[in-house]
Amino acid sequence: MDQYHGTTILSVRRGKRVAMGGDGQVTLGNLVIKASARKVRRIHQGEILAGFAGGTA
């Protein structure tokens, strides 16, 4: 059976407003390595929201 991996990043846009959030958990297989990662960040002087997933997170 294939093993599925995923990261929770959710983004919602309504008009010119955007909400973005993510869980803070980083795992390696079934082991939680970090429970407080910042996967959503503001970049470029706060004008861009970025969500990091997978190995980047």
pTM score > 0.75 for this model? no
Does a structural domain hold residue 2? Answer: no
Residue 7 catalytic?
yes
Q: What is the dihedral of CA 12, 45, 6, 37, to 10 degrees?
A: -120
Give the separation between CA 21 and CA 36, rounded to whole angstroms.
13
pLDDT tens for each residue of 2-41 = 444 557 888 999 999 989 998 888 877 778 888 888 889 9
Per-residue confidence (pLDDT) for residue 55, from 0 to 100: 61
Does 3 fall in a domain? no
Q: Which domain holds residue 37?
A: 9-56
- Considering 7, 8, 27, 56, which one is annotated as catalytic? 7
**Cα→Cα distances 17→45, 48, 50, 55, Å:** 17, 12, 15, 28
Token pair recorded at residue 4: 């599925």
Does the residue 1 lie in any domain? no
Closest CA to 9 of 57, 56, 51: 51
Q: How many domains does the chain have?
A: 1
